Structure 1
């Protein structure tokens, strides 16, 4: 390769290598790549940023410019002048490589022969403002409970450190183990978790169910089933306003299955559920905060207590297990 009758640097590079079978193609390719890059750097190019969020590049761009445009814009044409279009999606792709909004604006201002258009700068800054507002992560296993105190005890239990917990929310713990291993560890340490499917449905073991013997006589010590009121008696009670008799023991037993209250507090809550007596409860909400409610006209329904809260002026539903304390009378 000669210029004005004299060998160029590229020619000198080629003559430094042995030819034929003794030549090393890898060494020749490496040397040529360096020389060709130097030649490309000598070729002038220009970048113009247009108001329609495009960049027009005349001539072969440098490696740095091509890298930035390739990360932040979409090529639309590659003719004598190549056209690159900036969109929110391509700009976010640049952020995915580790760049920031101001870094992209500064890089464009440095490479371009024109100023960065105001609309393009606004789009870049707006994309950067919302970038990362949402995060997507893979969770091996989630432990969910309305009992925030119970989750806190599990999280701080040194015997369960092998699960490497992370608190995702007041009512959600993340375990680093699989659901099967997490269940096994929790049960081995005295907890009684159940497994839910990905859609939140309870998953039961497929063990064979034993059918009860319908002819079996009840155990002599088993308590008799509570007597159901006839419809006529219920109608009479509604007309007369007579509250009738309430089985306090049955109400107390139903409440105790879902609560962790002291005996005297359980008695007060039983009186509230059986007769509507006003009481004050300290209730732990879904955020873990303890809120005091003065309630009356309470009714127990499964593991829930439905009552009129004078604190809010509306009827509220309280998970019995989240009632932390009960005191007699409104406060």
Structure 2
């Protein structure tokens, strides 16, 4: 009896004859503790030699009907996307560690923090953006770090155009000069591109110049775009897309060819 009254009623007086009061809050507390309405009514009837007061039965039934109408669950991040894309994201194997759950046709949640979710989505080939608590877009500022200059003087050979031409002729037609570090990185991400295309893309990336690419997205749709490359992040080329008039991330492996802008 003590456990029942402690869960479902509020004590108002103690002594030889204690007085307990039932309220919507006390009944809700009993339901929160695991009681069902039927169990609660049956236990109360077992304590009384008389039928339960009808208002008490109504109170238990009314609180039970409303109990659980609002549910609260922990969520580290919330994803807002269209219904078709939400189905695709839920079925993506590499995203299973995020523990994604559907709250609504266009809303998914994850217990992981937003940074972890963003990284996982980008690694899986998606292009998510971050929002703040009000739903406003958060612009991620990329910090550009310049290498510390070497205080030691560096001796450089001055090569005239005539001397360079002589070296190239002596090296033979089949000889290629070593690729720039940027071109080497791009080549490791996309072996499909030839040497000229890699050099052109690397030059555009190093000097923020426009370049024209043919690109295949993850659905196989091919488009031609003029872009201004900004940086390489993992396997993506971050560039300003003149077609969309916005910054975009392109999977380097999916760049089909590179050409000068028209």
Q: TM-score, normalised by structure 2?
A: 0.52
Deviation at 1:220, TM superposition (A): 11
Quote the residue 2:25 is aligned against.
89
Quote the residue 2:10 is aligned against.
74
1:189 aligns with 2:124: yes
Query: SS of the residue aligned with 1:128?
Result: helix
Q: Deviations over 1:83-137 (max 9, x none)?
A: 1100010011111111111211111111123221011111111111111122111
1:106 aligns with 2:38: no
RMSD: 2.8
Query: SS of the residue aligned with 1:167?
Result: strand
Matches within 5 A, 1:1-331: 65-145=1-81, 147-207=82-142
Deviation at 1:148, TM superposition (A): 2.0
Q: Distance in 2 between matches of 1:158 and 1:220?
A: 36
Segments of structure 2 that go 5 or more residues without pairing to the other structure are 145-208, 212-218, 223-243, 245-262
The 8 Å contact of residues 11 and 19 in structure 2, kept in 1 or not, is answered as yes
Q: Distance in 2 between matches of 1:203 and 1:181?
A: 16
Query: SS of the residue aligned with 1:81?
Result: coil
Q: Deviations over 1:186-231 (max 9, x none)?
A: 111221111111221211223369xxxxxxxxx999xxxxxxxxxx
Pick the structure with greater CA Rg: 1
Q: Distance in 1 between matches of 2:9 and 2:62?
A: 16
Q: TM-score, normalised by structure 1?
A: 0.42
Q: Distance in 1 between matches of 2:56 and 2:45?
A: 11
Deviation at 1:168, TM superposition (A): 1.4
Segments of structure 1 that go 5 or more residues without pairing to the other structure are 1-64, 210-218, 222-259, 264-301, 303-331
Pair 1:184–1:120, CA change in 2 (3 A): same
Q: Distance in 1 between matches of 2:210 and 2:125?
A: 32
Query: SS of the residue aligned with 2:18?
Result: strand
Q: Deviations over 1:34-81 (max 9, x none)?
A: xxxxxxxxxxxxxxxxxxxxxxxxxxxxxxx11111111111111332
Q: Distance in 2 between matches of 1:220 and 1:165?
A: 39
Provide the aligned length of Structure 1 versus Structure 2.
152
